A = this chain, B = another copy of it.
Amino acid sequence: MGETPPFLANPETTRESIMRATYLALCEHGYAGLTIQRIAESFGKSKSLLYHHYDDKDELLLAFLQFMLEEHESSVPETADDDPRERLDALVDAMLPPELSAEHRGFTAAMVELRAQAAHDERYSEQFAEHDRAFQDHLVDVIEDGIEAGTFRDVDAERVAEFVGTTVAGAMTRRVTGGDDRAATTARDALESYVEQVLLADDTGADT
Protein backbone atom coordinates (compact mmCIF):
# COMPACT_ATOMS: atom_id res chain seq x y z
CA MET A 1 0.00 0.00 0.00
CA GLY A 2 3.03 2.24 0.02
CA GLU A 3 3.58 2.34 -3.72
CA THR A 4 3.00 5.50 -5.65
CA PRO A 5 1.54 5.92 -9.14
CA PRO A 6 4.07 7.32 -11.61
CA PHE A 7 2.25 10.61 -12.06
CA LEU A 8 3.05 11.65 -8.50
CA ALA A 9 6.26 9.77 -7.91
CA ASN A 10 8.45 12.85 -8.24
CA PRO A 11 6.56 15.89 -6.98
CA GLU A 12 8.22 19.11 -8.04
CA THR A 13 6.13 21.76 -6.38
CA THR A 14 5.00 21.90 -2.77
CA ARG A 15 1.42 21.46 -3.87
CA GLU A 16 2.32 18.30 -5.73
CA SER A 17 3.99 17.01 -2.58
CA ILE A 18 0.78 17.68 -0.71
CA MET A 19 -1.24 15.87 -3.37
CA ARG A 20 1.12 12.93 -3.05
CA ALA A 21 0.84 12.95 0.72
CA THR A 22 -2.94 13.12 0.50
CA TYR A 23 -2.93 10.16 -1.84
CA LEU A 24 -0.74 8.08 0.46
CA ALA A 25 -2.83 8.95 3.51
CA LEU A 26 -6.02 8.11 1.63
CA CYS A 27 -4.65 4.72 0.59
CA GLU A 28 -3.46 3.91 4.08
CA HIS A 29 -6.42 5.09 6.13
CA GLY A 30 -9.32 5.34 3.71
CA TYR A 31 -11.53 8.34 3.15
CA ALA A 32 -13.21 7.95 6.53
CA GLY A 33 -9.84 8.05 8.26
CA LEU A 34 -8.38 10.83 6.15
CA THR A 35 -7.44 13.60 8.58
CA ILE A 36 -5.30 16.69 8.24
CA GLN A 37 -2.95 15.23 10.81
CA ARG A 38 -2.37 12.09 8.75
CA ILE A 39 -1.87 14.00 5.53
CA ALA A 40 0.71 16.10 7.36
CA GLU A 41 2.46 12.95 8.56
CA SER A 42 2.73 11.62 5.00
CA PHE A 43 3.75 15.10 3.98
CA GLY A 44 6.59 15.12 6.47
CA LYS A 45 5.74 18.68 7.49
CA SER A 46 3.47 20.21 10.07
CA LYS A 47 -0.26 20.38 9.50
CA SER A 48 -0.22 24.13 9.89
CA LEU A 49 1.62 24.27 6.61
CA LEU A 50 -1.28 22.61 4.89
CA TYR A 51 -3.44 25.52 5.98
CA HIS A 52 -0.84 27.82 4.54
CA HIS A 53 -1.46 26.32 1.10
CA TYR A 54 -5.17 25.57 1.34
CA ASP A 55 -7.95 27.45 3.07
CA ASP A 56 -9.48 24.41 4.69
CA LYS A 57 -9.78 20.66 4.45
CA ASP A 58 -12.65 20.93 2.00
CA GLU A 59 -10.65 22.95 -0.49
CA LEU A 60 -7.68 20.61 -0.15
CA LEU A 61 -9.75 17.52 -0.81
CA LEU A 62 -11.53 19.10 -3.74
CA ALA A 63 -8.21 20.14 -5.23
CA PHE A 64 -6.99 16.61 -4.68
CA LEU A 65 -9.97 15.13 -6.50
CA GLN A 66 -9.41 17.48 -9.43
CA PHE A 67 -5.71 16.62 -9.46
CA MET A 68 -6.40 12.90 -9.47
CA LEU A 69 -8.95 13.10 -12.27
CA GLU A 70 -6.74 15.32 -14.41
CA GLU A 71 -3.70 13.10 -13.99
CA HIS A 72 -5.75 10.03 -14.69
CA GLU A 73 -7.25 11.64 -17.74
CA SER A 74 -3.81 12.53 -19.05
CA SER A 75 -2.71 8.90 -18.69
CA VAL A 76 -5.21 7.86 -21.37
CA PRO A 77 -3.32 6.88 -24.51
CA GLU A 78 -3.66 9.02 -27.62
CA THR A 79 -2.95 6.62 -30.45
CA ALA A 80 -4.61 7.90 -33.58
CA ASP A 81 -3.44 5.64 -36.38
CA ASP A 82 -3.85 2.14 -35.01
CA ASP A 83 -6.38 -0.58 -35.46
CA PRO A 84 -9.66 0.69 -33.94
CA ARG A 85 -10.11 -2.50 -31.99
CA GLU A 86 -6.66 -2.21 -30.45
CA ARG A 87 -7.29 1.42 -29.62
CA LEU A 88 -10.50 0.41 -27.87
CA ASP A 89 -8.65 -2.22 -25.87
CA ALA A 90 -6.00 0.32 -24.94
CA LEU A 91 -8.63 2.70 -23.61
CA VAL A 92 -10.16 -0.01 -21.45
CA ASP A 93 -6.71 -1.05 -20.25
CA ALA A 94 -5.98 2.48 -19.13
CA MET A 95 -8.88 2.32 -16.69
CA LEU A 96 -8.72 -1.37 -15.97
CA PRO A 97 -5.20 -2.76 -16.22
CA PRO A 98 -5.21 -6.55 -16.67
CA GLU A 99 -3.12 -7.27 -13.62
CA LEU A 100 -3.86 -5.29 -10.50
CA SER A 101 -0.56 -4.23 -8.96
CA ALA A 102 -0.50 -2.97 -5.39
CA GLU A 103 0.15 0.45 -6.83
CA HIS A 104 -2.89 0.40 -9.08
CA ARG A 105 -5.09 -1.20 -6.46
CA GLY A 106 -4.41 1.73 -4.19
CA PHE A 107 -5.24 4.15 -6.97
CA THR A 108 -8.47 2.42 -7.89
CA ALA A 109 -9.55 2.15 -4.25
CA ALA A 110 -8.94 5.86 -3.83
CA MET A 111 -11.02 6.64 -6.91
CA VAL A 112 -13.86 4.42 -5.76
CA GLU A 113 -13.91 6.04 -2.35
CA LEU A 114 -13.82 9.53 -3.78
CA ARG A 115 -16.58 8.69 -6.21
CA ALA A 116 -18.81 7.48 -3.40
CA GLN A 117 -18.64 10.94 -1.87
CA ALA A 118 -20.38 12.22 -4.97
CA ALA A 119 -23.59 10.61 -3.75
CA HIS A 120 -23.97 13.41 -1.22
CA ASP A 121 -21.70 16.14 -2.53
CA GLU A 122 -22.65 17.91 -5.71
CA ARG A 123 -19.16 19.31 -6.25
CA TYR A 124 -17.79 15.79 -6.35
CA SER A 125 -20.49 14.56 -8.69
CA GLU A 126 -19.81 17.44 -11.07
CA GLN A 127 -16.15 16.48 -11.22
CA PHE A 128 -16.92 12.86 -11.90
CA ALA A 129 -19.56 13.70 -14.47
CA GLU A 130 -16.93 15.71 -16.32
CA HIS A 131 -14.38 12.92 -16.02
CA ASP A 132 -16.82 10.29 -17.23
CA ARG A 133 -17.76 12.55 -20.10
CA ALA A 134 -14.13 12.95 -21.17
CA PHE A 135 -13.46 9.24 -21.11
CA GLN A 136 -16.63 8.57 -23.01
CA ASP A 137 -15.68 11.10 -25.66
CA HIS A 138 -12.50 9.15 -26.26
CA LEU A 139 -14.51 5.99 -26.66
CA VAL A 140 -16.88 7.68 -29.08
CA ASP A 141 -13.96 8.92 -31.15
CA VAL A 142 -12.49 5.47 -31.46
CA ILE A 143 -15.80 3.84 -32.24
CA GLU A 144 -16.74 6.42 -34.87
CA ASP A 145 -13.31 6.10 -36.47
CA GLY A 146 -13.85 2.35 -36.51
CA ILE A 147 -17.21 2.79 -38.18
CA GLU A 148 -15.80 5.10 -40.84
CA ALA A 149 -12.96 2.69 -41.46
CA GLY A 150 -15.46 -0.10 -41.89
CA THR A 151 -14.03 -2.10 -39.03
CA PHE A 152 -17.09 -1.58 -36.84
CA ARG A 153 -20.73 -1.85 -37.74
CA ASP A 154 -22.86 1.28 -37.91
CA VAL A 155 -23.86 1.30 -34.27
CA ASP A 156 -24.88 4.24 -32.08
CA ALA A 157 -21.39 5.18 -30.92
CA GLU A 158 -22.65 7.31 -28.05
CA ARG A 159 -24.70 4.50 -26.58
CA VAL A 160 -22.05 1.84 -27.00
CA ALA A 161 -19.50 4.14 -25.38
CA GLU A 162 -21.74 4.76 -22.40
CA PHE A 163 -22.27 1.06 -22.02
CA VAL A 164 -18.56 0.31 -22.11
CA GLY A 165 -17.88 3.13 -19.65
CA THR A 166 -20.51 1.85 -17.26
CA THR A 167 -19.11 -1.67 -17.33
CA VAL A 168 -15.61 -0.38 -16.75
CA ALA A 169 -16.86 1.65 -13.78
CA GLY A 170 -18.52 -1.44 -12.37
CA ALA A 171 -15.37 -3.51 -12.75
CA MET A 172 -13.27 -0.82 -11.08
CA THR A 173 -15.65 -0.78 -8.15
CA ARG A 174 -15.97 -4.53 -7.82
CA ARG A 175 -12.30 -5.34 -8.05
CA VAL A 176 -11.57 -3.33 -4.90
CA THR A 177 -14.79 -3.90 -2.96
CA GLY A 178 -15.43 -7.59 -3.58
CA GLY A 179 -13.35 -10.47 -2.41
CA ASP A 180 -11.26 -11.13 -5.48
CA ASP A 181 -10.26 -9.64 -8.80
CA ARG A 182 -12.38 -11.79 -11.09
CA ALA A 183 -14.72 -8.93 -11.94
CA ALA A 184 -12.09 -7.00 -13.86
CA THR A 185 -10.74 -9.85 -15.97
CA THR A 186 -14.24 -11.08 -16.68
CA ALA A 187 -15.31 -7.60 -17.67
CA ARG A 188 -12.39 -7.29 -20.04
CA ASP A 189 -13.07 -10.68 -21.60
CA ALA A 190 -16.76 -9.94 -21.88
CA LEU A 191 -16.18 -6.53 -23.40
CA GLU A 192 -13.92 -8.20 -25.93
CA SER A 193 -16.57 -10.73 -26.91
CA TYR A 194 -19.11 -7.92 -26.93
CA VAL A 195 -16.95 -6.02 -29.34
CA GLU A 196 -16.48 -9.12 -31.47
CA GLN A 197 -20.14 -9.95 -31.73
CA VAL A 198 -21.83 -6.56 -31.58
CA LEU A 199 -19.29 -4.14 -32.94
CA LEU A 200 -17.21 -6.02 -35.49
CA ALA A 201 -18.50 -5.79 -39.02
CA ASP A 202 -17.81 -9.07 -40.79
CA ASP A 203 -16.06 -12.45 -40.52
CA THR A 204 -17.53 -13.32 -37.13
CA GLY A 205 -15.26 -15.68 -35.31
CA ALA A 206 -17.50 -16.56 -32.34
CA ASP A 207 -15.98 -19.65 -30.85
CA THR A 208 -17.31 -19.64 -27.28
Contacts and interface: CB of A to CB of B under 8 A. Distances in A.
A171 B166 contact: yes
Given A160-B190, A187-B163, A113 B109 contact: no
A187 B194 CA distance: 14
A208 B119 contact: no
A167 B194 CA distance: 13
B194 A198 contact: yes
A120 interface: yes
Say what secondary structure dominates the interface of chain A: helix
Contacts of A208: 155-156
A186 interface: yes
Nearest to A178: B129
A55 interface: no
A99 to B, nearest CB: 18
Contacts of A182: 162
Nearest to A180: B129
